[in-house]
Amino acid sequence: MKNAVNWFEIPVTDYERAKKFYSEVLGEEIKDHHMDNMKYGIFPYDMENHNVGGAIMQMEGSNPSQDGSTVYLNGGADLSISLARVEAAGGKIVMPKTDIQENGFIAQFLDTEGNRVALHSMS
């Protein structure tokens, strides 16, 4: 097994608000891929090389939470850049950029939907 995780989904209650939030924070486009009874937006990822990918999704029975698993999004070369956009986009920083020594840096935030999500980078 190359990666323990191969896909993740972040539940949202307001798809357009969440799509705008993540696009602004990451500086990347979230691409619509709606399905029956589900609004679905895919984060950029390298599908051809079978890299980990994920999406935001709005559907009945999937509810945002700050108490479940934590998804770490790619913070790029320096997560400070994305983290600086969180509050302006409507989120709240709950853990500032934190040094985790040889493993780089992490930070956590609440998105516009109430999910606790994190960023990771090596610098």
Model confidence pLDDT, tens digit, residues 70-118: 999 999 999 999 999 999 999 999 999 999 999 999 999 999 999 999 9
Q: Are 59 and 78 in contact (CB under 8 A)?
A: no
Give the 3-state secondary structure of residue 109: strand
Give the model confidence (pLDDT) of 13-55 as tens digits.
999 999 999 999 999 999 999 999 999 999 999 888 878 999 9
Integer CA distances (angstroms), 52 to 20, 71, 85, 113, in order = 22, 12, 23, 23
All domains of the chain in start order, with CATH: 7-121 (3.10.180.10)
Model-level pTM?
Answer: 0.94
